[in-house]
Homo-oligomer: A and B are copies of this chain.
Amino acid sequence: MSNRFLKTASPCEIVRKLVVKAVLDYRLIEAGDKILLAVSGGKDSTSLAYALSAAKNEIEAMIGGSFSLHALHISTDFCSCCKKTPLRLQLQTWGIDFADIFVPVIGRLKPGREMNCYWCSTQRRSELLKYAVEHGFSKIALGHHLDDIIETYFMNLLEKGKAEGMPVKLAYKKYPVSLIRPLALLEEREIIDCAKELDILAAACTCPYGVNSGRKKMRQKIAAFTNNDGAVKRRIFAAISSLP
């Protein structure tokens, strides 16, 4: 991406451009794809919904075929902050239809067990996958960005002794569906700037549990380790996410 573009483009133009680049570089979208976008109501997945809808024609021209975009929100029994009506209306203005399912994350806890991020995310992920398969989706698009990917890599490296990150594209072996992460080339701060431009930041929903403290500490350590330098973070990303 040229420096000239980055200097003159608006935050949302940058997000759109880097989503298109990720889609093409990693072949995230193919002609005929039926894409399910997991929308939490947060800045990341909402910005992704915007970028994919804004770049739809451009991507279709480049891949030589059309694809469809649908959004799914998963409501739970511990988070009631998400304003689904504004989210639905917002997505409608971008031409994306919206469905909502309810998962009793707390209700499914075995007696004596406490809520935690791991439990919640696996419950939501399995419902998302089930919904996608039952409704014939070929791709599930998630809103993880460059900082999420690096963070996961370093948490695995330092805490589990595994050199594993989040793949930009992951084909399930058991199911006819793949996960894609079209925000992989974007830093969180670039997405925040776009969310401000879209004026969605105030309405954005965040988990009432907040970022768990281990992840928060790791985020601060990575910022110090990389001087929060975008070029350094992109080099790390290049090393840990080889192109297909």
Residues of A bordering B, CB below 8 Å: 156-163, 221-222, 224-226, 232, 234-236, 238-240
Contacts and interface: CB of A to CB of B under 8 A. Distances in A.
Contact of A235 (B161, B225, B234): B161
Contact of A225 (B221, B238, B239): B221
A159 to B, nearest CB: 7
Contacts of A238: 161
A95 B234 CA distance: 50
Nearest to A241: B163
Contact of A160 (B222, B225, B235): B235
B240 A163 contact: yes
Contact of A232 (B158, B236, B240): B158
A241 to B, nearest CB: 10
A226 B161 contact: no
A191 to B, nearest CB: 22
Given A163-B163, A163-B240, A240-B163, A157 B235 contact: yes
Contacts of A162: 239
Given A158-B226, A158-B232, A159-B235, 20 more contacts: A156-B239, A157-B235, A157-B239, A157-B240, A158-B225, A158-B235, A158-B236, A159-B232, A160-B235, A160-B239, A161-B234, A161-B235, A161-B236, A161-B238, A161-B239, A163-B163, A163-B239, A222-B225, A224-B225, A225-B225
A157 B156 CA distance: 15
A234 B157 CA distance: 10
25 contacts: A156-B239, A157-B235, A157-B239, A157-B240, A158-B225, A158-B232, A158-B235, A158-B236, A159-B232, A159-B235, A160-B235, A160-B239, A161-B236, A161-B238, A161-B239, A162-B239, A163-B163, A163-B239, A163-B240, A221-B224, A221-B225, A222-B225, A224-B224, A224-B225, A225-B225
A215 to B, nearest CB: 15
- 4 cross-chain pairs, A with B, having the tightest CB-CB distances, nearest first: A161-B235, A161-B238, A163-B239, A225-B225
A88 to B, nearest CB: 41
Nearest to A156: B239
A10 to B, nearest CB: 28
